[in-house]
Structure 1
Protein backbone atom coordinates (compact mmCIF):
# COMPACT_ATOMS: atom_id res chain seq x y z
CA UNK A 1 0.00 0.00 0.00
CA UNK A 2 2.82 2.42 0.85
CA UNK A 3 4.47 1.71 -2.52
CA UNK A 4 1.23 2.55 -4.34
CA UNK A 5 0.83 5.81 -2.40
CA UNK A 6 4.49 6.73 -3.04
CA UNK A 7 4.07 6.04 -6.79
CA UNK A 8 0.92 8.20 -6.91
CA UNK A 9 2.67 11.06 -5.11
CA UNK A 10 5.64 10.78 -7.47
CA UNK A 11 3.39 10.72 -10.55
CA UNK A 12 1.40 13.73 -9.30
CA UNK A 13 4.58 15.71 -8.55
CA UNK A 14 6.01 14.83 -11.96
CA UNK A 15 2.78 15.90 -13.70
CA UNK A 16 2.67 19.26 -11.91
CA UNK A 17 6.40 19.83 -12.43
CA UNK A 18 6.10 19.22 -16.18
CA UNK A 19 2.98 21.39 -16.35
CA UNK A 20 4.80 24.24 -14.60
CA UNK A 21 7.83 23.87 -16.90
CA UNK A 22 5.57 23.97 -19.95
CA UNK A 23 3.80 27.09 -18.66
CA UNK A 24 7.10 28.86 -17.96
CA UNK A 25 8.55 28.02 -21.39
CA UNK A 26 5.36 29.13 -23.18
CA UNK A 27 5.42 32.44 -21.29
CA UNK A 28 8.90 33.40 -22.50
CA UNK A 29 8.91 37.19 -22.75
CA UNK A 30 10.89 39.14 -25.33
CA UNK A 31 12.01 42.74 -24.93
CA UNK A 32 11.91 45.05 -27.96
CA UNK A 33 14.84 46.33 -29.98
CA UNK A 34 14.90 49.04 -32.61
CA UNK A 35 16.60 48.51 -35.94
CA UNK A 36 17.06 50.90 -38.82
CA UNK A 37 17.95 49.57 -42.26
CA UNK A 38 18.42 52.24 -44.91
CA UNK A 39 15.50 54.54 -44.04
CA UNK A 40 13.26 51.80 -42.61
CA UNK A 41 12.76 51.87 -38.84
CA UNK A 42 11.41 48.77 -37.11
CA UNK A 43 10.66 47.69 -33.57
CA UNK A 44 11.25 43.95 -33.31
CA UNK A 45 11.32 41.32 -30.61
CA UNK A 46 14.76 40.85 -29.07
CA UNK A 47 16.19 37.40 -28.28
CA UNK A 48 19.31 37.83 -26.14
CA UNK A 49 19.40 34.80 -23.82
CA UNK A 50 20.10 31.22 -24.84
CA UNK A 51 16.49 30.25 -24.01
CA UNK A 52 15.09 33.12 -26.06
CA UNK A 53 17.33 32.35 -29.03
CA UNK A 54 16.37 28.67 -28.82
CA UNK A 55 12.63 29.56 -28.82
CA UNK A 56 12.81 32.28 -31.46
CA UNK A 57 9.65 32.40 -33.57
CA UNK A 58 8.67 28.78 -32.91
CA UNK A 59 4.99 27.87 -32.66
CA UNK A 60 3.75 31.13 -34.21
CA UNK A 61 1.19 30.79 -36.98
CA UNK A 62 1.64 34.32 -38.39
CA UNK A 63 3.89 37.34 -38.24
CA UNK A 64 2.73 40.86 -39.12
CA UNK A 65 4.24 42.52 -42.22
CA UNK A 66 6.69 44.68 -40.26
CA UNK A 67 7.31 42.28 -37.35
CA UNK A 68 10.46 40.30 -36.79
CA UNK A 69 12.99 39.10 -34.26
CA UNK A 70 16.56 40.22 -33.63
CA UNK A 71 18.87 37.53 -32.23
CA UNK A 72 21.97 38.62 -30.31
CA UNK A 73 24.68 35.93 -30.32
CA UNK A 74 26.53 37.71 -27.42
CA UNK A 75 29.85 37.55 -29.27
CA UNK A 76 30.82 37.31 -32.95
CA UNK A 77 30.57 33.75 -34.29
CA UNK A 78 29.27 31.76 -37.23
CA UNK A 79 25.50 32.11 -36.86
CA UNK A 80 23.18 29.21 -37.44
CA UNK A 81 19.38 29.07 -37.56
CA UNK A 82 16.90 26.28 -38.21
CA UNK A 83 13.13 26.06 -38.46
CA UNK A 84 12.14 23.39 -35.95
CA UNK A 85 8.52 23.98 -34.87
CA UNK A 86 8.38 27.16 -36.97
CA UNK A 87 5.28 27.53 -39.15
CA UNK A 88 6.15 30.77 -40.96
CA UNK A 89 8.56 30.95 -43.95
CA UNK A 90 11.28 33.41 -42.98
CA UNK A 91 14.29 35.28 -44.27
CA UNK A 92 17.29 35.69 -42.00
CA UNK A 93 19.76 38.53 -42.39
CA UNK A 94 23.05 37.93 -40.63
CA UNK A 95 24.69 41.13 -39.35
CA UNK A 96 28.33 41.55 -38.32
CA UNK A 97 29.80 43.61 -35.47
CA UNK A 98 29.90 46.73 -37.63
CA UNK A 99 26.22 46.39 -38.52
CA UNK A 100 26.83 45.21 -42.08
CA UNK A 101 24.49 42.57 -43.51
CA UNK A 102 26.67 39.64 -44.55
CA UNK A 103 23.98 37.24 -45.77
CA UNK A 104 20.23 37.15 -46.47
CA UNK A 105 18.94 33.59 -46.63
CA UNK A 106 15.47 32.06 -46.99
CA UNK A 107 14.18 29.41 -44.60
CA UNK A 108 11.19 27.11 -44.96
CA UNK A 109 8.84 25.93 -42.17
CA UNK A 110 9.92 22.85 -40.21
CA UNK A 111 13.23 22.50 -42.09
CA UNK A 112 15.86 21.14 -39.69
CA UNK A 113 18.76 22.13 -41.95
CA UNK A 114 21.07 24.62 -40.23
CA UNK A 115 21.22 27.84 -42.25
CA UNK A 116 24.63 29.33 -41.43
CA UNK A 117 26.24 32.71 -41.92
CA UNK A 118 29.21 32.92 -44.28
CA UNK A 119 31.35 34.74 -41.70
CA UNK A 120 31.28 35.63 -38.01
CA UNK A 121 28.28 37.74 -37.06
CA UNK A 122 26.86 39.30 -33.91
CA UNK A 123 23.18 39.43 -34.88
CA UNK A 124 20.55 37.71 -36.97
CA UNK A 125 17.31 39.44 -37.99
CA UNK A 126 14.38 37.21 -38.98
CA UNK A 127 11.55 38.67 -41.02
CA UNK A 128 8.81 37.21 -43.23
CA UNK A 129 10.13 35.47 -46.35
CA UNK A 130 10.66 38.09 -49.07
CA UNK A 131 10.63 41.09 -46.70
CA UNK A 132 14.23 42.12 -47.44
CA UNK A 133 13.77 41.89 -51.23
CA UNK A 134 10.45 43.75 -51.07
CA UNK A 135 12.17 46.61 -49.19
CA UNK A 136 15.29 46.57 -51.40
CA UNK A 137 17.51 45.56 -48.48
CA UNK A 138 20.67 43.82 -49.69
CA UNK A 139 23.90 42.24 -48.49
CA UNK A 140 26.28 45.09 -47.68
CA UNK A 141 23.57 47.39 -46.33
CA UNK A 142 24.14 48.71 -42.80
CA UNK A 143 21.78 48.02 -39.91
CA UNK A 144 21.68 50.37 -36.96
CA UNK A 145 20.74 48.33 -33.88
CA UNK A 146 19.48 49.85 -30.64
CA UNK A 147 19.04 47.17 -28.01
CA UNK A 148 17.38 47.59 -24.59
CA UNK A 149 19.57 48.83 -21.74
CA UNK A 150 22.39 49.90 -23.96
Structure 2
Protein backbone atom coordinates (compact mmCIF):
# COMPACT_ATOMS: atom_id res chain seq x y z
CA UNK A 1 0.00 0.00 0.00
CA UNK A 2 1.33 3.46 -0.85
CA UNK A 3 1.14 6.29 1.66
CA UNK A 4 0.80 9.99 0.87
CA UNK A 5 2.52 12.85 2.68
CA UNK A 6 4.01 10.48 5.25
CA UNK A 7 0.69 10.35 7.08
CA UNK A 8 -0.48 6.88 6.10
CA UNK A 9 -3.12 8.23 3.74
CA UNK A 10 -3.83 5.43 1.32
CA UNK A 11 -3.64 5.96 -2.39
CA UNK A 12 -5.15 2.53 -3.03
CA UNK A 13 -8.07 2.17 -5.36
CA UNK A 14 -11.56 2.81 -4.00
CA UNK A 15 -12.50 -0.57 -5.48
CA UNK A 16 -10.10 -2.43 -3.17
CA UNK A 17 -11.74 -5.43 -1.58
CA UNK A 18 -13.02 -5.03 1.97
CA UNK A 19 -11.25 -7.04 4.65
CA UNK A 20 -12.62 -8.01 8.06
CA UNK A 21 -9.52 -6.72 9.84
CA UNK A 22 -9.44 -3.33 8.10
CA UNK A 23 -11.55 -0.18 7.99
CA UNK A 24 -11.22 2.49 5.33
CA UNK A 25 -12.22 6.10 5.98
CA UNK A 26 -12.57 8.83 3.38
CA UNK A 27 -13.47 12.47 3.15
CA UNK A 28 -12.53 15.58 1.22
CA UNK A 29 -9.08 15.24 2.87
CA UNK A 30 -8.38 11.84 1.24
CA UNK A 31 -8.48 8.28 2.49
CA UNK A 32 -6.88 6.32 5.34
CA UNK A 33 -7.02 2.69 6.48
CA UNK A 34 -6.61 1.12 9.91
CA UNK A 35 -6.04 -2.51 10.81
CA UNK A 36 -8.68 -3.33 13.43
CA UNK A 37 -9.72 -5.87 15.97
CA UNK A 38 -13.50 -6.39 16.07
CA UNK A 39 -15.42 -6.20 19.36
CA UNK A 40 -18.90 -7.39 18.42
CA UNK A 41 -20.25 -9.07 21.53
CA UNK A 42 -20.93 -7.73 25.00
CA UNK A 43 -17.81 -9.18 26.63
CA UNK A 44 -15.48 -7.92 23.89
CA UNK A 45 -17.06 -4.45 23.94
CA UNK A 46 -16.72 -4.30 27.74
CA UNK A 47 -13.01 -5.26 27.60
CA UNK A 48 -12.13 -3.01 24.66
CA UNK A 49 -8.56 -1.75 24.80
CA UNK A 50 -8.29 -1.85 28.59
CA UNK A 51 -4.90 -2.70 30.10
CA UNK A 52 -3.04 -2.38 26.78
CA UNK A 53 0.20 -0.44 27.03
CA UNK A 54 0.53 0.39 23.34
CA UNK A 55 -1.39 0.47 20.07
CA UNK A 56 0.40 0.51 16.71
CA UNK A 57 -0.20 3.76 14.81
CA UNK A 58 -2.36 2.37 12.00
CA UNK A 59 -4.32 0.04 14.30
CA UNK A 60 -7.50 0.30 16.30
CA UNK A 61 -10.56 -1.47 17.62
CA UNK A 62 -13.97 -1.45 15.93
CA UNK A 63 -16.86 -1.89 18.37
CA UNK A 64 -20.03 -3.10 16.64
CA UNK A 65 -23.50 -3.14 18.20
CA UNK A 66 -26.38 -5.40 17.10
CA UNK A 67 -28.50 -2.31 16.31
CA UNK A 68 -28.17 1.49 16.55
CA UNK A 69 -28.39 2.67 20.16
CA UNK A 70 -27.22 5.34 22.60
CA UNK A 71 -23.54 4.85 23.42
CA UNK A 72 -20.98 6.48 25.69
CA UNK A 73 -17.44 5.34 26.42
CA UNK A 74 -15.15 5.88 29.36
CA UNK A 75 -11.45 5.27 29.84
CA UNK A 76 -11.49 3.11 32.98
CA UNK A 77 -8.40 0.87 32.99
CA UNK A 78 -7.39 2.22 29.58
CA UNK A 79 -3.71 3.12 29.49
CA UNK A 80 -3.53 4.64 26.00
CA UNK A 81 -4.94 8.08 25.06
CA UNK A 82 -7.51 7.51 22.31
CA UNK A 83 -9.70 9.19 19.72
CA UNK A 84 -13.16 7.65 19.86
CA UNK A 85 -15.05 7.86 16.56
CA UNK A 86 -18.81 7.14 16.55
CA UNK A 87 -20.64 5.94 13.42
CA UNK A 88 -24.22 5.35 12.36
CA UNK A 89 -25.45 2.17 10.67
CA UNK A 90 -24.61 3.53 7.21
CA UNK A 91 -20.94 4.12 8.07
CA UNK A 92 -21.10 7.89 8.56
CA UNK A 93 -19.07 9.52 11.35
CA UNK A 94 -21.59 11.22 13.62
CA UNK A 95 -19.41 12.03 16.62
CA UNK A 96 -15.81 12.17 17.79
CA UNK A 97 -14.35 12.31 21.28
CA UNK A 98 -10.75 13.37 20.66
CA UNK A 99 -7.84 12.79 23.02
CA UNK A 100 -9.71 10.75 25.63
CA UNK A 101 -7.65 10.72 28.84
CA UNK A 102 -6.38 7.35 30.13
CA UNK A 103 -8.11 6.25 33.33
CA UNK A 104 -10.77 8.98 33.19
CA UNK A 105 -14.20 7.79 34.35
CA UNK A 106 -16.11 10.64 32.70
CA UNK A 107 -18.66 9.25 30.21
CA UNK A 108 -17.87 10.35 26.65
CA UNK A 109 -21.20 10.37 24.77
CA UNK A 110 -21.41 9.43 21.12
CA UNK A 111 -25.07 10.07 20.44
CA UNK A 112 -28.32 8.13 20.31
CA UNK A 113 -27.97 6.14 17.08
CA UNK A 114 -24.50 4.62 17.39
CA UNK A 115 -23.95 1.40 15.45
CA UNK A 116 -20.15 1.22 15.49
CA UNK A 117 -17.25 2.92 17.25
CA UNK A 118 -13.65 3.10 16.11
CA UNK A 119 -10.92 3.67 18.69
CA UNK A 120 -7.49 4.79 17.45
CA UNK A 121 -4.49 6.52 19.00
CA UNK A 122 -5.24 10.03 20.26
CA UNK A 123 -4.61 12.78 17.75
CA UNK A 124 -4.98 10.67 14.61
CA UNK A 125 -8.48 11.95 13.81
CA UNK A 126 -7.05 15.47 13.59
CA UNK A 127 -3.89 14.38 11.77
CA UNK A 128 -5.89 12.66 9.01
CA UNK A 129 -8.81 15.11 8.94
CA UNK A 130 -11.40 12.59 10.18
CA UNK A 131 -14.44 14.65 11.14
CA UNK A 132 -18.23 14.60 11.20
CA UNK A 133 -19.41 13.38 7.82
CA UNK A 134 -16.36 11.19 7.14
CA UNK A 135 -17.40 7.89 5.53
CA UNK A 136 -16.25 4.43 6.66
CA UNK A 137 -16.18 1.22 4.66
CA UNK A 138 -16.35 -2.18 6.37
CA UNK A 139 -18.47 -5.31 5.97
CA UNK A 140 -20.41 -4.59 9.20
CA UNK A 141 -22.29 -1.86 7.32
CA UNK A 142 -23.45 -4.21 4.51
CA UNK A 143 -26.72 -5.16 6.28
CA UNK A 144 -28.02 -1.61 5.86
CA UNK A 145 -27.61 0.90 3.05
CA UNK A 146 -23.93 1.75 3.41
CA UNK A 147 -22.81 5.05 1.98
CA UNK A 148 -19.55 3.36 0.88
CA UNK A 149 -20.31 -0.28 0.10
CA UNK A 150 -17.85 -3.15 0.00
With normalisation by structure 2, the TM-score equals: 0.74
Q: CA RMSD in A?
A: 1.4
Give every structure 1 segment of 4 or more consecutive aligned residues whose post-TM-superposition deviation is greater than 2 Å. Answer: none
Q: Partners in 2 of 1:136 and 1:43 — Cα distance?
A: 18
State the partner residue of 2:42: 50
Structure number with the higher helix fraction is 1
Q: Partners in 2 of 1:63 and 1:34 — Cα distance?
A: 15
Q: Deviations over 1:39-86 (max 9, x none)?
A: 212220100010000000000111111110000011100111111100
**Alignment pair present for 1:105 and 2:97:** yes
Structure 1 portions without partners, runs of 5+: 1-31
Question: Residues 8-87 of structure 1 correspond to what in structure 2 (within 5 A)?
Answer: 33-38=21-26, 39-87=31-79
Q: Secondary structure of 1:37's match?
A: strand
State the partner residue of 2:4: none
Structure of larger gyration radius: 1
State the partner residue of 1:91: 83
What is the CA distance between 1:33 and its match in structure 2? 3.0
Structure 2 portions without partners, runs of 5+: 1-19, 144-150
Q: Partners in 2 of 1:79 and 1:33 — Cα distance?
A: 23
What is the CA distance between 1:118 and its match in structure 2? 2.6
With normalisation by structure 1, the TM-score equals: 0.74
Q: How many residue pairs are counted as aligned between the two chains?
A: 117
State the partner residue of 2:136: 143
Q: Partners in 1 of 2:103 and 2:33 — Cα distance?
A: 29
